[in-house]
Amino acid sequence: MKITDIRSMRLVGPRNHGVGGGTSTLSKVIVRVDTDAGVYGLGEVDNFMGVREGLAYMRDFFRGRDAFTARALISEMIYGTVAPHNPLTPRQGTVMPGGAIAVSMCSPTATPWGPVAWAASGVDIALCDLIGKALKTPAYVLLGGKYRDRAKVYLDRSSPDDVTDLGAWEKMAAETVASGFTQMKFDIDYMATECVGDIWNRTLSLRQINRIVERLQAVRRAAGPDFEICVDCHMQYNVPDAIRVANALESLNLLWLEDPTPITNPDSCAEVRAKVSVPICVGEMFIAEQFRLFIDRGACDILHPDVLFCGGLHELRRIADYAELHHLPVAFHGNGGALATIAAAHAGVASRNFLGLEYHFVESAWVGEFVRRDVPLFRDGHVELTDAPGLGVELDRELCRRHLAPGESLFD
């Protein structure tokens, strides 16, 4: 079953309640991999810089290759091969139809992350979908089979529009509880922006920390003692202030503190971890190698890969296994729409140490509806998986047509 084409299509629509509240515009990019058997697979990538160029490169690089060799294809793209290389790949240095020069010895960016890994993630998701369709089996079976029938979801809430209104925090928490979800997350860096005096120096003032504590106390009161609450620092803070805010929040029994310091230095994160009681969660932009580095340096308690950034479903499952070997849980960061969320759920049910997966877009219905299944996207705070082949989804073509970005073509 040879790959004949890799295409992408960008959708656009409103983002209601984005990071820090407020409304904005959001794009979602769907990937389609076609084969000479007439079977195709659907994937998703994030609309980040360089990703669609990466997809175009992979279309030219992988055309004619066996779609059943998904892990080898993605590994070749991210880590390369040695000479004489795979005879089916374009010869090293070949100018491909899109004008890019073929590189076999390592990824075209010479680093195994960034746009190459992000684009490869979407291709791998689509390959899992099409292999499952070809074999008439769900993607979770390809990943080893189910430990559970459904994947728990946690909602990213970021913050209310008016962060100074304690009632808004309580209302947001109460509504999340009422919607059937059992875990939610807020963004430290957006929780008390009125207290920020310097946007550069990675500090948290005592005034800002006090407002953060008051607002999360309101959340805890509204959500009750058993509801799981997480906070995200977005890799923003210096070591002493990350420690100070974590300790100030200690009485709230948070499930995790996420990315407290810049992720380029595992030792900073390890220092925070050593001096706080809350578990440290890291890795939303990591590939497997970076998780290895952070675990080896004692820098994390919970691994947090994203199916859109780590290299796709096979890599997500591999990272979960690596965490399991260290007796650590894995939660899946989720910046994707319906397709990426369902894809991640397939890895979640197939991973023993799975804690939950994230969703950002409950207020933006179209993001959860551009692919459809026989069952709703969420039920009782979980993604339920069916026994449909592949990812078990199909495009909602009418919705996609309505949200097609200017200049884009709907898949035929």
* Beta carbon of residue 128, minimum distance to Mg ion (angstroms, whole number): 25
* Beta carbon of residue 264, minimum distance to Mg ion (angstroms, whole number): 15
Phi and psi of 14, rounded to 5°? -70, 145
Phi and psi of 325, rounded to 5°? -65, -25
**Which residue number, 170 or 232, has a Cβ lying nearer to Mg ion?**
232
* Beta carbon of residue 378, minimum distance to Mg ion (angstroms, whole number): 20
* Beta carbon of residue 369, minimum distance to Mg ion (angstroms, whole number): 24
Token pair 């705070």 is at which residue? 381
* Beta carbon of residue 194, minimum distance to Mg ion (angstroms, whole number): 22
Phi and psi of 29, rounded to 5°? -115, 125
CA distance linking residue 283 with residue 136, whole number of Å: 33
CA distance linking residue 207 with residue 248, whole number of Å: 12
CA distance linking residue 172 with residue 227, whole number of Å: 13
**Which residue number, 209 or 282, has a Cβ lying nearer to Mg ion?**
282
**Which residue number, 259 or 384, has a Cβ lying nearer to Mg ion?**
259
* Beta carbon of residue 265, minimum distance to Mg ion (angstroms, whole number): 17
Sequence-separated (6 or more) residues with CB below 8 Å from residue 227: 173, 177, 182, 183, 184, 220
**Which residue number, 44 or 284, has a Cβ lying nearer to Mg ion?**
284
* Beta carbon of residue 358, minimum distance to Mg ion (angstroms, whole number): 8
Q: Is the peptide bond before 87 cis (omega within 30 degrees of 0)?
A: no
* Beta carbon of residue 260, minimum distance to Mg ion (angstroms, whole number): 11
CA distance linking residue 358 with residue 53, whole number of Å: 27
**Which residue number, 241 or 284, has a Cβ lying nearer to Mg ion?**
284
**Which residue number, 294 or 366, has a Cβ lying nearer to Mg ion?**
294
CA distance linking residue 80 with residue 76, whole number of Å: 4
* Beta carbon of residue 348, minimum distance to Mg ion (angstroms, whole number): 17
* Beta carbon of residue 267, minimum distance to Mg ion (angstroms, whole number): 20
Residue closest to Mg ion, measured at CB: 232
**Which residue number, 181 or 309, has a Cβ lying nearer to Mg ion?**
309
Q: Which residues bind Mg ion (CB under 5 A)?
A: 232, 258, 284
CA distance linking residue 185 with residue 254, whole number of Å: 10
* Beta carbon of residue 185, minimum distance to Mg ion (angstroms, whole number): 8
Environment class of 238 (CB within 10 Å of its CB; exposed 0-12, middle 13-18, buried 19+): middle
**Which residue number, 170 or 189, has a Cβ lying nearer to Mg ion?**
189
Token pair 């495009």 is at which residue? 395
**Which residue number, 232 or 315, has a Cβ lying nearer to Mg ion?**
232
**Which residue number, 62 or 186, has a Cβ lying nearer to Mg ion?**
186
**Which residue number, 112 or 334, has a Cβ lying nearer to Mg ion?**
334
